[in-house]
Structure 1
Amino acid sequence: MNLPSSPVHKIPESVLVVIHTPDLQVLMLERADRPGFWQSVTGSKDTLTELPCDTARREVSEETGIRIGELRDWQLVNVYEIYPVWRHRYAPGVTHNTEHVFGLCVAADTPVTLAPREHLQYRWLPWVQAADLCFSPSNAEAILHLPKLLETPA
C-alpha cells in the first residue's frame, strides 16, 4: 500500500554565521546552486524546537567542517522577503524569513572542508571586501558590523 507523501517545507527561520579570524578575515562561500553568489554560512532550522544557536553550530559543521571556535550570538535579527526563486521550498503563502545572526571566531589556519552539494569554493577576505562580495544585503550588513561587534568595553 502506497501512502501519499506529504511535502516537507523549510521552516522560515534561519541563521547567518559570519566566520572570521581575530584579524577580521571573513570566510566567504560560493553557492553551488547559484555560481557567482557568495555568502557566509546560512541555513534553516531543521525542527521547530531547534534553537538558533544549535542551528548555527550544525550549519557551520555541515557546510565547512569547522567544529571549533567561539560562537557568539550577535543579538541581530533580520526579517526579509524570501527570493521568489527559493519560495517553492516553503509552505504556500510563506514570503518572509526570520534570520538570527551569529559570529564565529576561528584561528587563521582553521581547515575548511566544503559540502560540495552546497558550495563550489571558499575565500578568506578582509571584512570590507567580503561584504562587497555578498549577494545578500543582510549578509553584507552583518559583515560590516563585525569590527563594532568585536570591540570590548574599556
Structure 2
Amino acid sequence: MIDGTTTITDLDKTAENKLFIQGFVEKFLVGGDASVIPAYIKAHGYVQHNPHIADGVEGLQQALAYFAANKIGFSYSAIHKVPGEGNFVPVISEGQMAGVHSTFYDLFRVEDAKIAEHWDVIEAIPAVDKWENQNGKFGFR
C-alpha cells in the first residue's frame, strides 16, 4: 500500500480538507451512514489502496456488503487525531474490527473537494496488562 500520488498540493486548503475529512469519518465511519459516500468520494477514479477492497465507489460498496454478509463488524468509536497537510489528511481513530479493539490509521488524498485516494492500516490494541509502558496507544491512558 505504498503506491499512489505522493505530491502534497493545496497547502492553502489544509484546514478545509481536514474539516472535510473529519466530517466524512464522523458521518460514515463513526456514524455508520453509508448514504454520505457520494457526497465525499469521487464518483470516477477513486483509488483504494487496501488490497482487499476494489477501486471505485462500487468496490467500497461491495466490501461493505461482504462485511455485512459475513458478519465482519467494524465500528469506529473515537477520532483521536486529524493532522494533515494540503491535500493529504490522515486520521487516527479507534474502534472495533471483527470484535478486536483496534486502531485505525486512515490516510485520504483530497482532489477537487472529494476523496480521490485512501490508504489504511488497522492494528489491534493490546490489553493494558500487555503494554510495555503506560503511555497507551494514543499517548494517554
Fold similarity call, TM over 0.5: no
TM-score (normalised: structure 2): 0.26
Q: Larger relative contact order (C-alpha < 8 A, sep ≥ 6)? A: 1
TM-score (normalised: structure 1): 0.25
Going by fraction, where is helix more abundant, 1 or 2? 2
